[in-house]
A and B are shown apart, each in its own frame.
Chain A
Amino acid sequence: MYPDNFRYTKEHEWVMVAGDSATIGITHHAQEELGDIVYVDLPKVGAQLAQGKSLGSVESVKAVSDVYSPLSGEVIEINGALADKPESLNQDPHGAAWLVKVKLSNPGEIESLMTASDYAAYVGAEK
């Protein structure tokens, strides 16, 4: 369920690091908890993200949820397809429905995030 090459946050975001950049999304568990996702609010390219701070939000029919940045860095790309197809976050949250790509300013922060097995245990234990 949770790819081994991702790291995870307690707020249910994932990040995949490749060199000095990273792709960020929300986890399967997050989309399941939210239900039908109908709106995604993303930062602009060039925005500076700080680890643990809100980078935007996803909304289900019932509620708004903040998305917190797993790592610090500058936004270099956003997934524009989500504006028209927010429901893809329910279908492919670890793949096509990634949220943003960032150029990392402090790659060492990754050590503070959970591994896939840690995260699987975390969401298993959370219930």
Chain B
Amino acid sequence: MPDAQPLRATPLNSVHRALGARMVDFGGWDMPVQYTGIIDEHNTVRTSVGIFDVSHMGEIEIRGPEAARLTDFVTTNAVGKLQLGQAHYSGLLYEHGGFVDDILVHKIASDHFFLCVNASNQDKDFEHIRAHNRFDAVVENNGHRYAQLAIQGPRARALLQKLTPVDLSAIKYYWFTRGDVLGVDAMIAHTGYTGEDGFEIYIPPAEAARIWNELLSAGAKPVGLGARNTLRLEAKMALYGHEIDATISPLEADLAWIVKLDKGEFVGRDALLKQQASGVRRKVVGFEMRGRGIARDGYEVRVAGNPAGWVTSGSPSPTLNKNIGLCYLPVEQAKPGLVIEILVRNQPVEAVTVETPFYKRAK
């Protein structure tokens, strides 16, 4: 047994506790899973505005004249297409084509890229990028230098606008800018992980509590990681360790859109080209339960009575009032309209594969 590591805490840890949050060990971080209740918090984000402390997320910065070359070499999306102030979703892959992590790449300057990465992957990601730094780029593991707050929901823009002179309506979706938030120099990104409109701000840790409290005073409600999961699942956004991991490629995870095979050499490209040529064997697909029962991560999926795949995420959907999930199935079966069975606590329960995302906001 490895020695137990002390849990890591964000700058808002005591603020969450004072709010009465239920705290859990989330990949080695002491994080709020809920404040009032997951369903209530979920609905707040769908109908109004909620704020999340996502300061556990990692930030890796790549600098120098060869920053773009390194960033492009270690990620699947086309860094050359990014303009200054633009961000995109991307993958960090191993040579064999499996995910090291899924990330957001922000182009701050032609010689400065800012990667937002998963909390429990940040040290692994940093080592991976450094190991592939055959260029002369500078790679910095800067998670400790930033707190990150997500402001999400149909009222997110109006709420955040009260705290900043930056014209938020001028920031297009998946673009960002530097600007003042309550007197603090912040990076304000029009991004999110909820399927709702919203922003993510990166701020100095010392200012996190003051800005959090001002957002609450302005009318936002705190939302924990429990609702973050149900929100992202309804929007069919992948979660590392569930839909994607070291054994899964982006082609299998229905993430071919973040892979630009024609952009030139990148880590994992050869494996993906081979996989594309031979055809992927399994693919992620959404499902809804028809029988009574809730699918959970890891449950077996059966087709015509035979084991065929596994559930990667499963939950009640507070917005749809159905029990939904994502699973891997053989590629010929991973399409909508197939009746399947989920083995729920050793009882087969009927489900049907469906189109995703489960939820799409009205624009």
Could you tell me which A residues sit within 8 Å of B by CB distance? 35-36, 38-39, 41, 57, 59-64, 83
The number of residue pairs between A and B whose CB atoms lie closer than 8 Å in the complex comes to: 39
B22 CB within 8 Å of chain A: yes
CA distance A61 to B38 in the complex (A): 7
Chain B: minimal CB distance from A19 (Å): 33
B22, B226, B292, B293: the one contacting A61 at CB < 8 Å is B226
11 contacts between A and B (CB under 8 A): A35-B38, A36-B40, A60-B38, A61-B39, A61-B230, A61-B315, A61-B316, A62-B38, A62-B229, A64-B294, A64-B296
With A35-B37, A36-B39: A61-B318 Cβ-Cβ less than 8 Å: yes
CA distance A61 to B22 in the complex (A): 14
Complex contact A57–B34 (CB within 8 A) = no
Complex contact B37–A36 (CB within 8 A) = yes
Complex contact A39–B293 (CB within 8 A) = yes
* Leading 4 A-B pairs by shortest Cβ distance: A61-B38, A38-B316, A36-B39, A36-B37
Chain A: minimal CB distance from B235 (Å): 16
Chain B: minimal CB distance from A10 (Å): 21
B210 CB within 8 Å of chain A: no
A57, A59, A62: the one contacting B226 at CB < 8 Å is A62
CA distance A57 to B292 in the complex (A): 13
Could you tell me which B residues sit within 8 Å of A by CB distance? 22, 33-34, 37-40, 226, 229-230, 292-294, 296, 315-316, 318, 323, 345
Residues in chain A near residue B40, CB distance under 8 A: 36
Chain A: minimal CB distance from B113 (Å): 35
A36, A41, A59: the one contacting B38 at CB < 8 Å is A36
CA distance A35 to B34 in the complex (A): 9
Residues in chain A near residue B315, CB distance under 8 A: 61-62
Residue of A nearest to B34 (CB): A35
Chain A: minimal CB distance from B245 (Å): 20
Chain B: minimal CB distance from A68 (Å): 15
Q: Which of A39, A57, A62, A64 has the most CB of B within 10 A?
A: A62
Residues in chain A near residue B37, CB distance under 8 A: 35-36
Complex contact A64–B226 (CB within 8 A) = no
CA distance A102 to B169 in the complex (A): 62
Residue of B nearest to A90 (CB): B37
Residue of B nearest to A83 (CB): B292
List 8 additional A-B contacts (Cβ < 8 Å) besides A64-B296, A64-B345.
A35-B34, A35-B226, A36-B39, A38-B39, A39-B292, A61-B38, A61-B315, A61-B316
Complex contact B22–A38 (CB within 8 A) = no
Chain A: minimal CB distance from B271 (Å): 35
Chain A: minimal CB distance from B324 (Å): 12
Complex contact A62–B33 (CB within 8 A) = yes
CA distance A107 to B318 in the complex (A): 42
Complex contact A57–B345 (CB within 8 A) = yes
